[in-house]
Structure 1
Amino acid sequence: MLELARSLSQWAHGFKTGIIFLFNTGEEEGLNGAHSFITQHRWRHTVCFFVDLESMGIGGKSTIFQSGSVPWAFEIYARVAKYPSAQVFMQDLFLSGAIKSSTDFQVYSEVGGIPGFDFAYTDSISVYHTKNDKLELLKPGSLQHLGDNMLPFLVEMALSANLSIIGDVAGKDRDAHTYFDILGIYMVECSQSFANIFYNTILLQAILIWVASLIVGGFQAFTAMLLSILSIVLMWIFSLSLTVPVAFLLPLVCVHPSPYIGSPWLIMGLFGAPAVIGALVGQHLGFLILHKYLCRIASKGAPISTLDVNLQYLLKLESERWIFKGGFLLWQFVLVLGIFFKAGSSYIPLLWLASPALAFGLIDATLTPARLPKKLRIVTLLLGLTPPILISGGIFIRFGKFIVGSIVRFDRDPGGVPYWLANLIVAIFVVTIVCLLFVYLLSYIHLSGSKLSLLISMVIIFILAIIAVSFSIFPTFTDDIARTINVVHVVDMTRSSGEKQDLDSYVSIFSATPGKLDNEMRMLKSDFFSCERSRTIDFVTFNVSYSCLSSKGSSDGWRKSEIPILHVENDNIEDVRKTQVLLDTKSSTRWSLAINSDHVEDFTIEGNSDDSLFVKNKADGKGWHLIQFSGGKKSPTKFTLTLFWSTSIAAHASQSGVLSQENSPHLLKLRTDMSTITPKVARVINNLPSWCSLFGKSTSPLTLSFLTNLPVEF
């Protein structure tokens, strides 16, 4: 950003619009910097367009992955960017909720109502928020790629006299946009409504072609089409049946349930090989059924063995062609789903439908039943698959790397998900890729002599991969791809005994990476850690169901005067019950508070904290109102919380959210955080293996946390 500012300063004399460079802080604490600017800064009303520069990994291409509806800005970027990089596919993932994350884009767009672009690096996402998320590991050329695109874009935007009307236009035109780049050389962009018209036109033409071919072919063609659909269904069933069990097998035979994190190429053997075997077997079974049907029709009731050998071969060729055309039906179905859900990335199934269909129609289509079928030509496959692979192949690779990289922080509530769940997601992704992208390729194998050799090679690859992960030949974690670990000294006041609150101090080690911590604990034998699932730690913003605990030496490094206080100052039960609670966080200026929404309908909080307070979903429907606060050294530590009780108080606490506990007796739950490293925590951190890395986000505790609560029956 500094280099962009320096370069832009040389052009500033010709600008018709100013450019603000905003260096935000507090993003990981709740997007505080962006929120403060857009709600309080005196320049906020002068902003009509924004560019948010994000990073979810180390380098690579800086890609547009979220955007507002500003056609003119898209046109400028597509025209002037030297190496345009944009993928609406990532925006679809964000909108679907598959990616549980937010950026400053949401603040500028939703709170400020300003249109803009959100750029991000997404390579090496496994190091995100770990010790390896550092400048030294930035891929060469990454910053230059961003600068080559951003500098001409900002110059062109600032030189335009029309920039001031973007906000007005965007406010009236809420039509989404479809955009993608082709090999980083050319960018395609258009409105979603125009794209839908184009998609529907192609879809209608495809349907008309199918109807015409079925009319010409009659009942036999209709039945053959249904059997080709059956081959697609069998392909998916067999592929899933062979691949999904691997997801459950790996936690049983490997030290770590996802042993491919450090060596992602192992996925090709562990999941890719069985997926290909299943897809080939399932599709071949459909091929045999289809061939048998065509032979039965040709024999007119006579035994199939009486058919001429040449005729049987011709019917095999016809079966092969129907299996190939089954791929059209598969991608046609995906395109229908994309249009129905208004996905901007519907251009992907369009490519995989139109290009092979066009190549087949030009080279291999018989056009009339009178012409004898011929063997599918390799050139049809090459011409048909080259465009979609070049345009969309990189998306599938990047998305696969994103899924694998995300496993290191997959378990948001440590111990809360089965160990096999991440493997299952990877398995389904691999099956989807194989069944969608290989559907045309596999149809060429049924009449070749390579079926058996392909199956044997896939079996060998799978066995070798299983042996490799079973004996840990390739380490799951390395110094560069580390396991995420949290080491927290907890002072727990939540374990009540009658009217008395017992103080419990311990150090907790837990991980967002699925899997046990047995290997890590071998390095910490002298600290007497015990790993268990019998005790759930409620950190207010999340729960820890599996952790390693040790109380030895945990009384040092903190003071009782730092324990936060929740004190009821006034409880008025007339009319609507209203309770005032003093919230004293002592030395902490970073805390999280949960308010039982089954009992409290609304609340207010007073104190000189308006600039820093972040209230998340005041009525989130999960059983708790959640407040997260993060301030500076001079931030207040005392607040007055006023609770307005529900007129129809529920008899029991909600069980629907991650913060809920069955029959919860708590009215308030509070966690205060301090960055103090106690002697016990320091010793643990120093003794952790090199392939472990401390991890933290806005909901994560710091190295010293105090837990307390206020019961409903206070």
Structure 2
Amino acid sequence: MRKRVTTQNESSNETLLGEDYTSNKHRSGVHNVPFSFAILLLIALFALFGFVHLLDGRLPTALTIHDEKNYPDAFITDRAKHDLKLLTSLGSRVTGSYENEVLAVSFFQREIAFIQQQARRNQKIEIDIQKVSGAFYNDFRPHGAINTYSQIQNVVVKLHGSDASKHSLLLNSHFDTVPSSPGGTDAGINCVVMLEILRKLSRSPYRLRHNVIFLFNGAEETGLRASHGFITQHKWAKEIKTLINLEGAGAGGKELLFQTGIAVPWILRYYKNVPHPRGQVFSEEIFQTGQIPSDTDFRIFRDYGNVTGIDFAFTENGYRYHTKYDDFENIPDGSYQHIGDNVLTLTKLLGNATEMDDPNEFVQHKTVFFDIFGFFITYTENQATLINSFISLLSILVTVWSFYKFGLGITQQSAACIGLTSLAFITGWSLAGFFTIVTATFLDLLKSSLSWYGSQWMLLGLYTLPTIACCCTSVIVLNNYNEKMNLNVNVQSQIQIHVVKLLWTFALLIGTFLKIRSVYLIMMPVLFQTVACLILHLLQLQHSVRKWQVVYLITLIIPTVFLMNVLGLAGRVLIPMCGRIGPERNPELIMGILTFAFTLLLSSLYVPLITLVHKPGKVVKILFTVFILFVLIALSPLGFPYNGNSNSPTLQRYWIFHTSRTFRNDTNHVYKKNAGFFVINWDRNAPNTVRQLVKDFNKEKSITEDCDNNLLCGLPLISSKIISVIRDSTWIPAGQPIVHEQINFKMVEKNQLSSTVRQFNFSLTGPSHMHITISPRINATLIKNNLVPHVPKTLIWNNRKIYIILHVSGAEVTPLSISLNFQVPANWEGPTFDIGISGKCVHDRTNLKTPQYVKFLSSFPEWADVVPHLATYETWVY
């Protein structure tokens, strides 16, 4: 029989190894909690997740014109709403269209002129309409391109600061849109917010210390061209010291600070003082991986103007982004007030900041930033190293102290206990990860991807519940082994809490060493678990029956709510994006792994408590049963992801080009001419979901032969980004389109600069949107061009080098001159290169549709967002 060991404080129920580890059914029963407690705790956590979501959606009360007498310096939503209604009533404003180049520009000129009339006499406002042409290489991931532009327009306003300041703060947003979208949140709301801020500042009796430049740019959606034209060529560009960039990737909600780049920390210190701060560096690190199918002007100002600053975007309800539903009616009044309050306050703070005199004087750092309960936390990467290291050390010390308090100390038995417990948790995590991958792959193979697209709660059933179940299973197996070692469940549970805390502590240290700023997501639960354990031992509660459990759960409220808030935000941003990442990616894996990762981190706080549960196997059985029900829902019609309800649309996206194609041989004689509908499928389920409804898909022709024999499959490009999805597109033969804006391409001159260098000069005119693909023959090398200073990175298509030029015209179409120099072998007489050119008619006024095209478009269901274009594609050989 095992000898009972007691301490001097036995009367206070403080016992050491002997009693704690004695197999005593009565004492275990005291510490056990009913099976129903575990179910209620899970329900409570899911309810808390819903409450956090509702709380995060709260918006400030919008101010009206009548409120202005009580809040004379405040942002007024009423006026911004009025302006946005006028702007969106113009319809879609595609660069090069009448709506964008004439009507929208006139709107801003008129409103700014009125602001000038209403301004105080001490304020000075200048306006400049910039028409600019240029070119640059934009290294989009995974495929870059030369972006050229002619006569695109910017409306630029300068509110002068005091004492003839030579330093300026830049506020930027764009008024152009993608085809078919009125651009309510992307980015009309930001433009009218800037107008209202200009009104407020111009009516102030005080002038800011520095100038504020408002850039209303007219060509962002076409590859960030307008910002490039401004920062590289405008007369005020050199005086800009700091940037506030405003974007939209959703519709309404709250704007999110999601990017700072290499930031000067003082900018974020000012941002902490705005009324509604909101931001997560987690979003910045995801965005900068290049996996998000979007980019912003922030990149251009940073790369071409060496301007640092902060980047905001609306991210809620991304289903409306770049669709006809991104309209005026669906933006809550509180969204105007939220961004208006924040940007107006920040503009005043930065406009008066002494740091603006010479921002380069201040050391630049990558910065950790996040908001929690309305507070904005920020610290540099170096400070993060110190903070994370201190918390890690504290975590380890508290664990060692706790083991001594439990009477374990540093012994072979405690080492074995830690090792076995760690192995159990790691096994559970691995099992959960494997289960996630299998589930995602299974659903994808059965063509049931995206069941959670319009019902985000489906992710909880498909990936959260089995993750929790797998982790609990490994702990239950561990506890069955521990029963043989006569371990008391009370101590078992607390030991497991310490061990899982240690595992995340090591993950925190590794992430810190790798300079991953997002490890603050791990730091928060490690910190509060450590504090909880410290409190338990300081208050002598570790052997109490229920008190330690209550204290522990209360301490977890803050990290739980914090992680739920970040998970909810990540889901609301990324889930709609899964509808436009292309059919080559499996969204089940993307969202499954993300949900698994957050669930793992969050559930680690609670899984050790399964040790206290009587008959814990029942909990696991229920979790797996509910998971199976969710799988059945995903496989059934109930899991269909799309709907066309205008109040809450979840749309499947298609871009369609009615295309005429002409192919020429080495002697430039036409050898093939055809036409058809080129359908870009933007998600994993396309076009299978519409095949039974859109009968023309039965006429689909494989594009494999076109892709093998032609540059980029002989299809028109709207962006270099679609190269990765072009082989997954659809080609349906059709009659010739009606195209009035034809390509006019001719060689102006050919020069033999030396025995091995040939120069070709061309002139190109056509629609306002064109793309050119150049591919040297095997014996030729492109060594120079007149568009950008250096030959850009080479793309490879079917083992051939290709270079892409994307051209956009704005206020007027002017000829694009292209000069190309090639290195060839001496006395070479064969062809030097192939060139393919497409012209795209994307404006409603030029997008004339044949009856066949109209019938094809009308056959799509209401839940399909179809953006129609006309295009021509032609090839030449020189």
Question: Given the two structures, how large is their TM-score scaled by the length of structure 2?
Answer: 0.68
Q: How does 1:90-489 map to 2 (within 5 A)?
A: 90-160=283-353, 162-170=354-362, 173-183=363-373, 185-209=374-398, 216-254=409-447, 256-289=448-481, 292=484, 295=485, 312-314=486-488, 316-363=489-536, 377-411=548-582, 415=583, 417=584, 421-449=586-614, 451-479=616-644, 480-489=649-658
Task: Tell me the CA shift for residue 288 of structure 1.
Answer: 3.6
Deviations 1:668-701 (A, max 9, x none): 3433222224314333223321111135xxxxxx
2:872 partner letter: F
Q: Deviation string for 1:141-178 (max 9, x for gaps)?
A: 11111112222221222234x153243325xx221222
Q: 8 Å contact 1:616–1:628 — kept in the other structure? A: no
Q: Structure 1: which amino acid aligns with 2:757?
A: R
Q: Please tell me whether the aligned partners of residues 492 and 503 of structure 1 are also in contact (alpha carbons under 8 angstroms).
A: yes
**Cα deviation per residue 1:2-53 (whole Å; 9 max; x = unaligned)?**
2222222222633221212111121111111111111111111221111111
Q: Distance in 2 between matches of 1:85 and 1:615?
A: 40
3-state SS, counterpart of residue 307 of structure 2: coil
Q: Higher mean Cα deviation, 144-153 or 463-472?
A: 463-472
1:604–1:497 distance in 2 versus 1, CA, 3 Å? closer
Deviates more, 1:594-603 or 1:10-19: 594-603
Distance 1:149 1:593 in 2: 43
* CA gap 1:14/1:456 in 2 versus in 1, 3 angstroms: same
Other structure's SS at 1:130 match: coil
Q: Which moved more, 1:592-601 or 1:513-522?
A: 592-601
Is the Cα contact below 8 Å between 1:364 and 1:376 reproduced in 2? Answer: no
Q: Distance in 1 between matches of 2:636 and 2:876?
A: 50
Determine the C-alpha separation between the residues in 2 that align with 1:197 and 1:466: 45
The CA deviation at 1:363 is 1.0
Residue aligned with 1:49, SS:
strand
Distance 1:677 1:226, change over 3 A: farther
Query: Could you tell me how far apart the structure 1 residues matched to 2:626 and 2:317 are?
Result: 26
Q: What is the DSSP-based 3-state SS (H/G/I as helix, E as strand, rest coil) of the residue aligned with 2:810?
A: coil
Mapped pair 1:674 → 2:841: yes
Report the CA distance shift for 1:26/1:519 in structure 2 as closer, same or farther (over 3 A): same
Aligned counterparts, 1:488-527, within 5 A: 488-494=657-663, 500-525=670-695
For residue 594 of structure 1, what is the amino acid of its counterpart? T
SS, match of residue 252 in structure 2 = coil
CA deviation map 1:646-673 (0-9, x unaligned)? 789xxxxxxxxxxxxxxxx964343322
The worse-fitting range, judged by mean Cα deviation, of 348-357 and 149-158 is 149-158
In the comparison of the two structures, how many residue pairs are matched? 648
Q: What does residue 742 of structure 2 align with?
A: 562
Higher relative contact order (CA 8 A, sep 6+): 2
Matched, 1:549 2:728: no
Corresponding position of 1:662: none
Query: 1:114: Cα distance to partner?
Result: 1.4
Q: What is the deviation of 1:180?
A: 1.5
**Which blocks of at least 5 consecutive residues in structure 2 are unaligned?**
1-193, 708-712, 827-831
Deviation at 1:372, TM superposition (A): 7.1
SS in 2 for 1:462: helix
1:693 to 838, 847, 865: 865
Change (3 A) 1:516 1:70: closer
> Residues 446 and 179 (structure 1 numbering): CA distance in 2 closer, same or farther, change over 3 Å?
same
Identify if the C-alpha distance between structure 1 residues 404 and 6 changes in structure 2 by more than 3 Å, giving closer, same or farther: same
Question: Structure 1 residues 216-225 or 37-46, which shifts more?
Answer: 216-225
1:122 Cα deviation after fit: 1.0
1:423 CA displacement: 0.6
What are the superposed Cα offsets for residues 286-325 of structure 1, whole Å, 9 maximum, x if unpaired? 4444555xx1xxxxxxxxxxxxxxxx252x4433223222
Q: Does 1:636 align with 2:814?
A: yes
> 1: CA distance between counterparts of 2:400 and 2:611?
27
**3-state SS, counterpart of residue 485 of structure 1:** strand
1:618 aligns with 2:792: yes
Percent of paired sites with the same residue: 20
CA distance in 1 between counterparts of 2:205 and 2:701 reads 61
CA distance in 1, matches of 2:297, 2:635: 43
Contact 2:490 2:543 in 1 (8 A): no
Return the alpha-carbon distance in structure 2 between the equivalents of residues 219 and 705 of structure 1.
75
The residue type paired with residue 242 of structure 2 is F
Deviation at 1:448, TM superposition (A): 0.6
Letter in 2 for 1:202: I
Contact 1:493 1:504 in 2 (8 A): yes
CA–CA separation in structure 2 for the residues paired with 1:616 and 1:269: 52
Aligned position for 1:652: none
User: In structure 1, what residue type is equivalent to 2:269?
Assistant: E
Query: 2:305 is matched by which residue type in structure 1?
Result: G
* Aligned-partner residue type, residue 519 of structure 2: S
Separation (CA, whole Å) in 2 of partners of 1:513 and 1:345 = 28
Compared with structure 1, are the counterparts of its residues 376 and 217 closer, same or farther at alpha carbon in structure 2 (3 Å cutoff)? Answer: farther
Q: Which amino acid letter does the alignment assign opposite residue 762 of structure 2?
A: L
Letter in 1 for 2:458: L
- Per-residue CA shift, 1:503-544, capped at 9, x if unaligned? 121112231111242442433326863265645435453152
Q: Provide the rounded CA distance (Å) in 2 between the counterparts of 1:158 and 1:252.
A: 55
Assess if the C-alpha contact under 8 Å between 2:293 and 2:581 holds in 1: no
Q: CA deviation at 1:353?
A: 0.5
Counterpart contact for 1:17–1:163, Cα < 8 Å: no
The separation in 2 between residues aligned to 1:633 and 1:75, in whole angstroms, is 41
* Aligned counterparts of 2:389 and 2:858: Cα–Cα separation in 1: 61
1:580 maps to which residue? 760
**CA-based RMSD:** 3.2
TM-score w.r.t. length of structure 1? 0.83
Cross-structure match for 2:769 = 590
Shift, 1:573, TM fit: 7.8
Given the superposition, is the C-alpha separation of residues 617 and 683 from structure 1 closer, same or farther in structure 2, using an over 3 Å criterion? farther
Q: Which amino acid in 1 is paired with 2:770?
A: W
Judged with a 3 Å threshold, the aligned counterparts in structure 2 of structure 1 residues 527 and 231 are, in CA distance, closer, same or farther, namely closer
Q: State how far apart, in whole Å, the 2-side matches of 1:63 and 1:332 are.
A: 29
| 3-state SS in 2 of match to 1:515 | coil
Distance 2:423 2:538 in 1: 22
Contact 1:565/1:582 (<8 A) preserved: yes
Question: Could you tell me whether the CA contact under 8 Å between 2:840 and 2:869 is conserved in 1?
Answer: yes
Please state how far the C-alpha of 1:482 moved relative to its aligned partner.
0.7
Amino acid at match of 1:704: L
Counterpart in the other structure of 1:30: 223
Q: 1:445 to 1:22 in 2, by over 3 A?
A: same
Structure 1 residue 422: Cα displacement = 1.2
1:356-408 CA-partner distances (Å, limit 9, x unpaired): 1110122158999xx97978932243233212123343111111222211111
Distance, in Å, in 2 between the alignment partners of 1:432 and 1:401 is: 16
